[in-house]
Amino acid sequence: MFPRSRHFFRRGTAVSLTAALAALATTGLTWSASAAPRTGTPARTVPTCTVGDLHLSLGRKEGAAGSLYQPIRFTNTGRGSCALRGYPGVSVLDSQHRQIGPAATRSGRSYATVVLAPGRSASAVMRTTNGPVGGPCEPTGSYLRIYPPASYKAVLIPAHWKVCSGTFRVGPVNTQGVF
């Protein structure tokens, strides 16, 4: 009798599951066993943006309260959506492509994954001081070397950027344009 009750239990569970799926279907909701994630990750993941998927450019510099801010814009030039999450790596280079001073540090702001559809953009904002406030300025650079988040390949962008007072920070990639 025990093996029969186990079999009956399984059959009863199948009937309960069928009834639950029928109830979902009548309310307009659907569920597919093949689409259900097994490890808690989404069934369909968006690939990480690569340098080949992106066009990097700089937005307009703006000054406020002794600081200078400039956004780095990441535009998806690929055919499908891709995702960016976290901070880009940024450093200032001279005309011979030698690094001037240390790379930008992270702002510490929390972040989320940004999914970029083809043709859409997100940005990360850089910050330094607007002149020597508590320390000297490094020589003005000719390029910015930028590594998109999760990338080991950099893009060089011609840019006149000067780090002053040892302050060079970058915020995470986001769609709000915040530091």
Q: What is the pLDDT of residues 17-52, one digit of tens each?
A: 334 333 333 333 333 332 333 344 444 699 999 999
Q: How many folded domains does the chain comprise?
A: 2
Full domain range(s) for residue 90: 51-170
- Residue 46 falls within a domain, yes or no? no
Same domain, 96 and 145: yes
Q: What is the SS3 string spanning the chain? A: CHHHHHHHHHHHHHHHHHHHHHHHHHCCCCCCHHHCCCCCCCCCCCCECCHHHEEEEECCCEEECCEEEEEEEEEECCCCCEEECCCCEEEEECCCCCEECCCCEECCCCCCCEEECCCCEEEEEEEEECCCCCCCECCCCCEEEEECCCCCCCEEEECCCCCECCEEEECCCECCCCC
Same domain, 62 and 129: yes
Same domain, 24 and 78: no
Same domain, 114 and 31: no
The predicted-structure confidence for 118-171, as pLDDT tens digits, reads as follows: 999 999 999 999 877 878 999 999 999 999 999 999 999 999 999 999 999 999
Same domain, 24 and 80: no
Q: Residue 122: give its domain's CATH number.
A: 2.60.40.2360
